[in-house]
Amino acid sequence: MMTSKRFFVFLMIPMVFFADLASTQGQFINHYDSQVVEYHTNHGIVAHVQAIVKGTALLPCDLTPPTPNDSIVLIVWYKGKHTPIYSYDTRTSNNNAHRWQDVSLENRAFFRTMTEPSTLSIENIAENEEGEYRCRIDFMKSPTKNLKVILAVIVPPQKPKIIDEKGKEIETVAGPYEEGGDMKLTCIVTGGKPEPTIKWWRGEKLIDSTETHSGFQNVRSNQLVIKGLQRSDQHAAFTCQASNNNISQPVSATVSIEIYFRPLKVEILSSNQPFSADRMYEIPCQTFGSRPTAKISWWMDGVELKSDKFNYTQTDSADGNTSTSTLMFIPTRLDNDRMLTCRAVNPLVQGGLEENSIKLNVFYIPILHLSLGSNLNPDDIEEGDDVYFECKVNANPWAYKVLWKHNGQVMQQNQKAGIIMSNSDLALQGVSRNQAGNYTCVASNVEGDGDSNVVELKIMYKPICRSDHKRVYGVARHENAKILCEVESYPLPDSFKWSFNNTAETIEVPQTRYNSDVHHSSSTLSYTPVSELDYGTVMCWASNLAGRQLEPCVFHIIAAGKPDPPYNCSILNQTSDSLEVECVEGFDGGLTQYFQLEVYDEQNDILQINVSAKFPLFTVSGLEPGKMLKMMVYAANAKGHSEGITLEGFTLKVAEKQTVLSLGTRDQMEIAPILGILIGIVSALLCVTVIILAALKLRATRRDGSHAIRPGFLPVKEKATLPLRTETEDLYEMDDKNPDVVPANKVSFLFADSDYQLGSEVQTPGPNNSVAVNNEFEGQRIITPLSEAYVTRDRQYQPQHVTNEVTYAELSLARPNTLDTTKNVGNQFPTQKLRDESIIYAQIDHTKNHQPVSTLSAKPSPILSPVSSLFPVKPSMYHREVVTIRTPLMGCQQESCV
């Protein structure tokens, strides 16, 4: 009895919860992949439970007693109406409920009383276990209660399969698709009870799709269509999801898509700088945005540059987004203004072609073509005709300069000479034969200089004699002489004519006497003098298409004689065993001459060497060193040799060998003389330096001593005067040339009211005026004015004591020792040679301040030269006019007298 009470108390707590649950209609309870739905009907409580196959089914059973204080005795579960499958019996003596289950459950069932409500849990539920279940509950007091549970076992669908528009199943990646194209994917789901619902997702976003009929039982399909694929759709993930319940996770399949893109852009990475012809350049071209990588090719004016002839390579970036091709290109001048194109092609995409072109600007050296004027016949140009050339220039950039050359020499424009030039034309007015030759034009631009073809200008002119032919022939009587007449002409001469002229007559030479070679522009006369009258002058004329030669070629036939001796001989390149002798050849006597050198030893007059040469240039070797030589030079021909020219020469001595006694002795012998010479030179220089310094010191001491005592006749602030030339124009000229002296004509009015003024004629000693001086010096004979001034200075000068410092300055002037007769204030006087001192003393007084102009003007103080004031001059003596200027130094209150 006590056991029944405890069991009843144990069941009271869950019964309260079952009572609350039973009062609710349509409540869903999820446990272990099962779903319970309870409904109240007239026949009791009916619960609908869903479970996933192979999952766990939870069958609820409400254990709440109808009456209070009642307890459960037995719980039995039935499948269908009468087949028990599980029991829970509390009628045991050990207070533990007895559990029993049918063998069909295979120990997969377990009744849980602690849950709300109590449930029968069946694991690994099978599809055939779906059906109606009944829970019978026996109470201690209350009547038995039956609860019906309808179990529905859900079968999930199989994993979806995704196929493309071609019917090919897609595992991971769909495509490839073209950019801008459409994508169609179909999701097929098999099985599932109830029938599943199919949805498409892009990432976490649900997208629209279309339900389709597969035509098979238990097979459902759904199609996804994406139109106008873009670059943003690349590698996008699309998921097909199928679900027929809200208990288990939906089944799904995910694929990503691959899209092929056309190239976005192609660019030739080359600057706008021009190219130089015949130089190699690396021209890169880059494209990006193509998938897969685009193939790059190069084209020139629509023609592909094959890689076997033009070297270019392609490299792709690691991500395949960028491709670069580098063209190794050597442009030529023919490539100028042509279009170079870089083309990127993705053949897997419609319209997958992009290209970029640049216009080549190729710089090249000017190409020139020179020709005569179109109206000229190059074979019919005579002297005096006007000729012009045309120079056609093909250059990039355009030539900034065009030069014209004649026989390799640059021509200059000379309109007076009839040479007129421009960048493309050359005109020659009144051409002469000297202007015949090769003409070229040269054009220059930044790439270099280009030469044109050579155009030969042929000018027809009458024959003229060659300047280098032999003009004098020495021929003996009855000797046959061959006289060669050579001319220059264009075209070549076609005939020659000879004549002989002597003092008596002129005779035309018959053609049988001479042979003419018109191909070599020459004619040879065979001439044999017999008597004195056969010596004279032979003349030769040539004729060509332009006419007959105007001035004949003149040859003098003289009696043959000995040649003249050579002259201007000199000895060159003398060594110990050789020397050279060079002379200038004289007249050959009318015959072919040669030259001979004889070398004698001057001491014993023995012939050393005898040398002959065609020209007077000899190289003598094999001589003995250190010899005095006498050399004789002759000129000789068939008539004999000339007088000899005597030369004296020598060969150099060979350096003497020295016997080395010992290293120390040799060094002493070599160093001792040199050291003595150096010591002597240094001593002499020191003595000269000491003498010069002593003389300079003595001179400076004398000057300092002469200035140590200031002359007593010069008061402080006295103005120093300069003796100048007496001519007024000379004075002005000197003032204008000396920037430190104020001109007299300017100072006269600037300092009219001050004591800074020029000395007047009255103040200047001269033949017409005099200056009052101390009687002590009157009547003295003037011998040396400078010495007398020094004597007077020593006698009369007493040092003046001043409170402030007085500075003395010495001015040395270079003066001429003689004076010529000059003008002095309009009068002329003879002038004797005078010797004046060249030192003028000036005193700078620091104590005296400058006075106003009005004060100074009231006290004019004419100042004279100390030398002039000391010595009166006789009327016959000439004295130069003295100009005195005192210029104040404004800043430091000093005065400078010049």
**CA–CA separation, 703 and 809 (whole Å):** 11
CB 64 within 8 A of CB 19: yes
Q: Does the structure show a pLDDT above 70 at 37?
A: no
| 574, HSE (Cβ side, Cα atoms, 13 Å) | 15
Q: How confident is the model at residue 760 (pLDDT cuts 50, 70, 90)?
A: very low
Q: Does the structure show a pLDDT above 90 at 561?
A: no
In the block, tokens 């000068």 appear at 797
CB 275 within 8 A of CB 362: yes
220-236 pLDDT per residue, tens: 999 999 999 999 999 99
Q: What is the DSSP letter of 777?
A: G
Report the range of poorest mean pLDDT among 12-16, 331-335, 651-655, 766-770: 12-16
> Is the whole model's pTM more than 0.75, yes or no?
no
Q: What average pLDDT does the segment 815-843 reach?
A: 40
Q: Does the structure show a pLDDT above 70 at 94?
A: no
Q: Does the structure show a pLDDT above 80 at 609?
A: yes
Sign of CA dihedral 386, 387, 393, 399: negative
Q: With helix as H, strand as E and coil as C, how does 219-255 read?
A: EEEEEEEECCCCHHHCCCEEEEEEECCCCCCCEEEEE
Q: How confident is the model at residue 415 (pLDDT cuts 50, 70, 90)?
A: very high
Strands 145-154 and 44-52: parallel
**CA–CA separation, 651 and 602 (whole Å):** 12
Q: Specify whether the backbone of 333 is left (phi greater than 0), alpha (psi in -120 to 50) or beta.
A: alpha
352-364 pLDDT per residue, tens: 899 999 999 999 9
573-600 pLDDT per residue, tens: 899 899 999 999 988 887 889 999 999 9
336-351 pLDDT per residue, tens: 999 999 999 999 988 8
CB 800 within 8 A of CB 713: no
Whole-Å CA distances, 78 to 28, 85, 131, 136, 448: 23, 6, 11, 8, 114
**Could you count the other beta carbons within 10 Å of the beta carbon of residue 535?**
17
pLDDT score, position 446: 94
Strands 461-465 and 567-572: unpaired
Q: How confident is the model at residue 293 (pLDDT cuts 50, 70, 90)?
A: very high
Among 65, 30, 29, 242, which residue's Cα sits nearest to residue 142?
A: 65
Kindly give the residue spans of alpha helices, DSSP state H, lying in 512-662.
none
CB 752 within 8 A of CB 744: no
In the block, tokens 């063998």 appear at 103
**CA–CA separation, 49 and 34 (whole Å):** 6
Q: Tell me how far apart the terminal alpha carbons of the chain are, to the nearest angstrom.
A: 163
**CA–CA separation, 602 and 627 (whole Å):** 8
3-state secondary structure of 540: strand
pLDDT score, position 559: 84
**CA–CA separation, 373 and 354 (whole Å):** 52
pLDDT score, position 355: 93
Q: What is the DSSP letter of 831?
A: -
Kindly give the residue spans of alpha helices, DSSP state H, lying in 556-662.
none
Q: Identity (one letter) of the amino acid at 113?
A: T
Instruction: Provide the token pair at 217.
Output: 């039982």
**CA–CA separation, 172 and 417 (whole Å):** 95
What are the E-state strand segments in 573-627?
578-584, 594-601, 607-613, 617-621
Q: How confident is the model at residue 856 (pLDDT cuts 50, 70, 90)?
A: very low
Backbone angles phi, psi at 233, to 5 degrees: -85, -5
pLDDT score, position 44: 55
Instruction: Provide the token pair at 897.
Output: 């007298």
Q: Does the structure show a pLDDT above 80 at 411?
A: yes
